[in-house]
Amino acid sequence: MEVHAPARSRDLASIGVSRTTIARAVADGVVVRIGRGLYQLPDSEPDLHAGLIEIAKLAPKAVICLTSALSFHQLTDQLPRRVWIAIGAKDWSPKIEYPRIRIVRFREHAHTDHRGPRLRRCLGGSAIRD
């Protein structure tokens, strides 16, 4: 088994794959729909942080926060029932069916102001922004 990052339908369309082709690939079992507008190869190795990868792809402006961030960085033993995400005060709420999310809103300066060193993490082959 190999680790393959999930792909958004928007990403597939940008390289010339039509929605019809995606639908046929899902029907034929070539790819698996793992979320709304999110696809992955069927032989991909499951990832411990698959839910975070899906959210990072489906809501690129969202920031994993609070208990979910602590759990990801192994700073707590608590496993949240929902993935906590932060969005801007005026941003649209992302429509994510699974994994279940909990949204908190921050004023723009608190949501985008990063002080100190910026670390880049890589989850299951998916680069997650700083």
- The 10s digit of each residue's pLDDT in 8-42 is 888 899 999 999 999 999 999 999 988 788 888 88
Q: Are both 55 and 105 inside the same structural domain?
A: yes
Please count the structural domains in the chain: 2
Residues 6+ apart with CB under 8 A from 128: 52, 53, 56, 120, 121, 122
Q: Are both 72 and 123 inside the same structural domain?
A: yes
Q: Domain range spanning residue 24?
A: 1-46
50 pLDDT above the threshold of 80: no
Q: Are both 30 and 16 inside the same structural domain?
A: yes
Q: Are both 55 and 26 inside the same structural domain?
A: no
Q: Are both 63 and 34 inside the same structural domain?
A: no
- Please provide the distance, in angstroms rounded to a whole number, between the alpha carbons at the two ends of the chain: 28
Q: Are both 104 and 64 inside the same structural domain?
A: yes
- The 10s digit of each residue's pLDDT in 51-107 is 888 888 888 888 898 999 888 888 999 888 899 999 988 899 998 888 889 999 988
Residue 74 burial (10 A CB sphere; 0-12, 13-18, 19+): exposed
Determine the pLDDT at residue 127.
46
Q: Which residue did the predictor score with more confidence, 66 or 125?
A: 66
Q: Are both 26 and 65 inside the same structural domain?
A: no
pTM: 0.60
Q: Are both 40 and 71 inside the same structural domain?
A: no
